[in-house]
A = this chain, B = another copy of it.
Amino acid sequence: MLYRKKIKVKTERGVSYVELTRAIEKVIEESGVKDGICNIALKATTAGLLINEHDLLLLKDFERFFKELIKENRLYAHPDNAFSHLRASLLKNEITLPIENGKLVLGTWQSILLFEFDIRDREREIVVTIIGEGEKE
């Protein structure tokens, strides 16, 4: 059984973030899949996915880490937003997670986060694909 849904989220110019966990869980509930996997693909080259703790102070540390490691104020060959692409490459474009008993399997402190690194506000599309065994079958 395969179920697919596309999610759109508005983001603010980077570095900013949006939590996606609840939106992904809703897609799993809609799918009726009880056991399987959930693939989450972000159609972006200047934003990225990260599974980590949704703690405001920790996310400040992440922001500082990205900004220090890949600086804005230096010369890049690619115009405008090379640093946005480089920062995005530190994270993931796609994540595949288990589904068990109709629920996304995540650790206690794991949240699915989307980091925006671009220099403009954006609308991002996330393609969620669920493959598994469901009660509707």
Contact = CB atoms under 8 A, between A and B. Distances in A.
A79 B55 CA distance: 11
B61 A129 contact: no
Contact of A61 (B61, B78, B95, B131): B78
B55 A78 contact: yes
Identical chains bound together, number: 3
B105 A35 contact: no
Given A35-B4, A52-B89, A89-B52, A82 B58 contact: yes
A78 B98 contact: no
- The main secondary structure of chain A at its interface with chain B is mixed
Given A43-B105, A107-B43, A4 B100 contact: yes
Interface string A45-84: 1000011110101101110010001100000111100100
14 contacts: A2-B36, A37-B129, A41-B97, A43-B108, A43-B110, A44-B107, A52-B88, A57-B79, A58-B77, A58-B82, A60-B77, A62-B86, A89-B91, A107-B125
Interface of A: 2, 4, 35-37, 39, 41-45, 50-53, 55, 57-58, 60-62, 65, 69-70, 76-79, 82, 85-86, 88-98, 100, 105-110, 125, 127, 129, 131-133
